[in-house]
A and B are shown apart, each in its own frame.
Chain A
Amino acid sequence: MTTEELQKENEALHKENELKGEIISMTGHQVRTSLSAMKWVLKMFLDKDFGELSTEQEQMLKKASEQNERVISLVSEMLTLNKAADGAIPYVFTPTEPVPLLEKIIFEFMSESYKKHIELLFLRPENNIPAISADINKLHIVIENLVDNALKYSKEGDKVFVSITPVGNNVDISIKDTGIGIPAEAQSKIFTKFFRADNAQTKDTLGSGIGLYMCKKIVEAHHGSLTFESTGHGSTFHVLIPQIVATDNAK
């Protein structure tokens, strides 16, 4: 095949891929419209807006609502993956001060954690934290998702701690909760595409619902790592991101 032919074929493939992406995006948004209608109607039934329910009716509607929420999360994740796959979200790395970023995210979740009676605390570091090279929007999404998860899998009276410490050449941003933990059988699967643990305490939280698979991908694109430990008394997620190394170090 000549270079020209290859180029043509490449262009055709590229176009086809773009079209597929568009179809996924359009379908996703249309599916969301139906899912919204279901969500609202089920909620109205459960709120007794249409009259009293028998215990069985209420249980069934709750199940239906949970299933619907699951599909809503899947669609959100599919749309995010679709965007990521077509390279529509290139990374832009800039030197970033992590502490103000964390403060901003904690602030976003203040009213939600207050409403749920979960204490959300930022353990402000005593020492200076070195800057990191980050795509600030994407790192924001990662931390936001981890805090969102921590709140989702916690119940009234639980606590969520966010802290940051330098560890070797990295900074370790940790999100620790005193919630229900990740069931042992789920621990090996949480970083797979489209995974949802089914023991969430509440639905409808702030996060973009992109899932831990995408979070891990984003952190790895920062040459970092996303790990966790979990018991029945809560989970801790660690986002490890390399510090910016000064290239002109004085000897």
Chain B
Amino acid sequence: MAKQVLIIEDDAFLQGLVVRKLSSSGFTVQAAGQWSEADTILKTFSPDIFIIDLVLPGGMDGFAIITEIRKMNQFAQTPIIIFSNLSDEKDQTKAETLGASLFMVKSNFTLDELVEKVNALIK
């Protein structure tokens, strides 16, 4: 069965590009623009990996979302990639401390490289 990915990204254009690339690479992809949408999706969709932006609307930023996901038993060990354009060391350390598996700065990677990292993490 195809591996499942949930992406939480509020920029519709970027979200569309990531969904397109991951889908064409054989993944089943669902996308949300903020946590409330993601929470609804998670009732019927069980991702093998999360890709999450940091700056998000709706009162829950990427850090809060990592914490929320890690509280859910079934996702306690699921890989989480933080895919953001923030690059401060302290943001990275914070995300990793909260339980992110990998921190990627969007502008430093192509989508092929994102797919590579996704594959490496869910192998």
Query: Which residues of A come within 8 Å of B, CB atoms?
Result: 29-30, 32-33, 35-37, 39-41, 43-44, 47, 49, 72, 75-76, 79, 83, 137, 204, 208-209
Report which of B87, B88, B89, B107 forms a contact with A39, defined as CB distance below 8 A: B107
For residue B87, which residues in chain A have a CB less than 8 angstroms away from its CB?
A: 76, 79, 208
Report which of B11, B55, B107, B112 forms a contact with A47, defined as CB distance below 8 A: B112
For residue A29, which residues in chain B have a CB less than 8 angstroms away from its CB?
A: 55, 85-86
A17 → B minimal CB distance (Å): 18
**Majority SS of interface residues in chain B?**
helix
For residue A83, which residues in chain B have a CB less than 8 angstroms away from its CB?
A: 88
Contact A41:B17 (CB < 8 A) given known A32-B85, A33-B85, A36-B106: yes
C-alpha gap A39/B55 in the complex (Å): 20
- Contacting pair A72 B24 (CB below 8 A): no
C-alpha gap A21/B35 in the complex (Å): 30
Q: Total A-B pairs in contact (CB under 8 Å)? A: 53
For residue B21, which residues in chain A have a CB less than 8 angstroms away from its CB?
A: 40, 44
- Contacting pair B17 A75 (CB below 8 A): no
Tell me whether B111 is interfacial, beta carbon within 8 Å.
yes
Instruction: Supply 11 A–B pairs (Cβ within 8 Å), ascending by A.
Output: A29-B86, A32-B85, A36-B85, A37-B17, A39-B107, A39-B110, A40-B17, A44-B17, A47-B112, A79-B87, A137-B89
Closest to B13 in A: A37
C-alpha gap A202/B108 in the complex (Å): 13
Contact A35:B17 (CB < 8 A) given known A29-B85, A204-B113: no
Chain B contacts with A in 86-111, Cβ cutoff 8 A = 86-89, 105-111
- Contacting pair B108 A72 (CB below 8 A): yes
C-alpha gap A30/B55 in the complex (Å): 11
Closest to B18 in A: A40
A16 → B minimal CB distance (Å): 22
For residue A30, which residues in chain B have a CB less than 8 angstroms away from its CB?
A: 85
C-alpha gap A144/B57 in the complex (Å): 35
For residue B112, which residues in chain A have a CB less than 8 angstroms away from its CB?
A: 43, 47
C-alpha gap A41/B13 in the complex (Å): 10
Tell me whether B14 is interfacial, beta carbon within 8 Å.
yes
Report which of A32, A41, A209 forms a contact with B106, defined as CB distance below 8 A: A32
- Contacting pair A49 B14 (CB below 8 A): no
C-alpha gap A183/B123 in the complex (Å): 43
Question: Which of A44, A49, A208 has the most chain B CB atoms inside 10 A of its CB?
Answer: A44
Known contacts A49-B24, A79-B87, A204-B109; can you find 6 more A-B pairs with CB under 8 A?
Answer: A29-B55, A39-B107, A40-B17, A44-B21, A47-B112, A137-B89
- Contacting pair A36 B107 (CB below 8 A): yes
A106 → B minimal CB distance (Å): 20
C-alpha gap A122/B74 in the complex (Å): 42
